[in-house]
């Protein structure tokens, strides 16, 4: 199976609603969980990240929660705006052959309707 699973693949919300994207990972040794936003035709950019020593982190309308026991983490966007429309990727650094490899989920296409 996939090392980092991300759901849903598509999420459609009305402006002002909240959006939640969830990811699970396979490697209990993973310690770093970033989220990237990729607008159409542009490069992915980090929007928030969390390390395994904390359970939640917030930055204005964006928050990430981490449950290390269950090996899942989630991105929460409140009061969504049309400019939040983009593809969002979760990632985790997975142990591989003595080093750590950044591994991405397949992405969630978020559509915010005005």
Instruction: Write down the least CB distance from residue 100 to other proteins, Å.
Output: 4
Mask for 49-88, x = binds other proteins (CB under 8 A)? x-x-------------------------------------
Binding segment (CB under 8 A) for other proteins, from list 11-19, 32-40, 57-65, 74-82: 32-40
- End-to-end Cα distance, the chain: 37
Query: Which residue in the set 73, 77, 86, 89 belongs to the binding site for other proteins (CB under 8 A)?
Result: 89
Closest CA relative to residue 74, chosen from 13, 2, 6: 6
Position 9 contacts other proteins (CB under 8 A)? yes
Q: Which of 26, 31, 65, 78 binds other proteins (CB under 8 A)?
A: 31
Q: With CB under 8 A as the contact rule, which of the stretches 55-63, 66-74, 77-85, 91-99 interacts with other proteins?
A: 91-99
Buried b (16+ CB within 10 A) or exposed e, 20-29: bbbbbbebee
Nearest to 102 by CA among 58, 62, 44: 44
List interacting residues with other proteins (CB under 8 A): 6, 9, 29-34, 36, 42-46, 49, 51, 89, 93, 97, 99-107
């Amino acid at each position: 199976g996939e090392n980092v699973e991300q759901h849903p693949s598509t999420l459609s919300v009305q402006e002002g609603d909240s959006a939640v994207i969830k990811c699970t990972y396979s490697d209990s040794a993973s310690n770093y969980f970033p989220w990237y936003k990729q607008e159409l035709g542009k490069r992915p950019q980090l929007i928030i990240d969390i390390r395994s020593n904390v359970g939640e982190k917030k930055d204005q309308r964006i928050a990430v929660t981490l449950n290390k026991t269950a090996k899942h983490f989630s991105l929460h966007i409140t009061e969504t705006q049309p400019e939040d429309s983009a593809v969002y990727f979760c990632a985790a650094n997975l142990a591989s052959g003595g080093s750590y490899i950044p591994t991405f989920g397949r992405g969630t296409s978020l559509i915010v309707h005005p």
